Amino acid sequence: MKIRNHWHKAILLLLFPLVGSGQEKHTDNTQKNELNASVNYQSVLHYFGRTDSLKSSGLFPVIGFQSSVGLYAQGSFIFVQNKDLPLSYTGTTIEAGYRFPQTDHFSGNLFYTQFLYKDQSTLVQSALKSQTGINLNYLSSIININTGLDLKFSNQTDVGATLGIDHLFLFNKGMTNAAFAINPSVYAYFGTQQFSNTYLEKKNILGLPVTTQNTTQVTQFNILSYEVSVPVVFVSGKFNASITPSYTLPQNLVTVAGRPDLSERGKNLFYLTASVGIKL
């Protein structure tokens, strides 16, 4: 599971004002109180291409509220399934923040997320305790530029950054109260990897010895992964649905010499994400 899914949120924020407008481009700066709920599925859980040994999939019900002044809060409930585990509750994430008023060329948000994983979770991202950051997006008819900066807190603190581009193909001509979009996207994720040492320490709690002497340097700011995705989103009235094929390429995996069982697992990975939701 990736910690963020901002491209999906950004597309929905753009598409809902377009529903029924019959316009190619339109921005409604008026914010109002909104309740939203969705159910999301991911075929392979990963964290910047890093996976657990069981290649788990996940189901994530989400419920949230945004006020008319841009303040918002949402909770995600994480259920994991793999070959050794039936669909089981694994943890909860709680996010609160502020979304800036969207203009023709700008959108963004500030956020804080608290992660509440079960103590014995084997997911790579279970090493994280919380995260805070900012996302800023420049919007245009040619290309959208998406950036982000964040801090991730485990036993130590990691610094992260995101840089992505996308182009929104919108189809709503002749549609009444509906819109359809395809949004090809390319992203690069950067950061330090102290969370990897924390994850290895968690594995030690489960009875696996950990040697840090030969561990590669994880304090250096590096590329963590590249990702290409093609979100396909449909909005009709208060209803929305999406499916996203993605291909991620993890970089700079942490390794422990002579101990592949204690090194980060990760390889080029194709996965699907699907979501259905309502916005009231």
Domain coordinates in residue numbering, the chain? 6-279
DSSP letter assigned to residue 83: T
- Quickly tell me which residue has 């109260």 as its tokens: 177
Q: Phi/psi at 22 (nearest 5 deg)?
A: 70, 20
Cα dist from 171 to 18, 89, 142, 242, 245, whole Å: 10, 38, 16, 14, 19
Query: For the ranges 14-18, 94-98, 165-169, 270-274, which has the lowest average pLDDT?
Result: 14-18
Residue 186 belongs to what H/E stretch? strand 185-191
45-97 residue pLDDT tens: 888 888 877 788 999 999 999 999 999 999 999 998 888 888 889 889 999 99
pLDDT (tens digit, 9 = 90+) per residue, 136-166?
999 998 999 999 999 999 888 999 999 999 9
Whether residue 207 has pLDDT greater than 50: no
Partners of residue 78 on adjacent β-strands:
91
Q: Which residues, other chains included, contact 188 with Cβ-Cβ below 8 Å and sequence gap of 6+? A: 162, 163, 164, 223, 225, 226, 227
Please tell me the predicted confidence (pLDDT) of residue 25.
45
d(CA 62, CA 172): 27
**Range 122-139 average pLDDT:** 84
Task: Tell me the pLDDT tens digit for each residue of 215-267.
Answer: 444 568 999 999 999 999 999 989 999 999 999 999 988 777 766 666 778 88
Return the H-helix or E-strand segment holding 247. Answer: strand 239-250
Which residues pair with residue 80 across a beta bridge? 58, 88
So what's the pLDDT on residue 110? 96
Mean pLDDT, residues 88-115: 92
CATH C-level class of 6-279: mainly beta
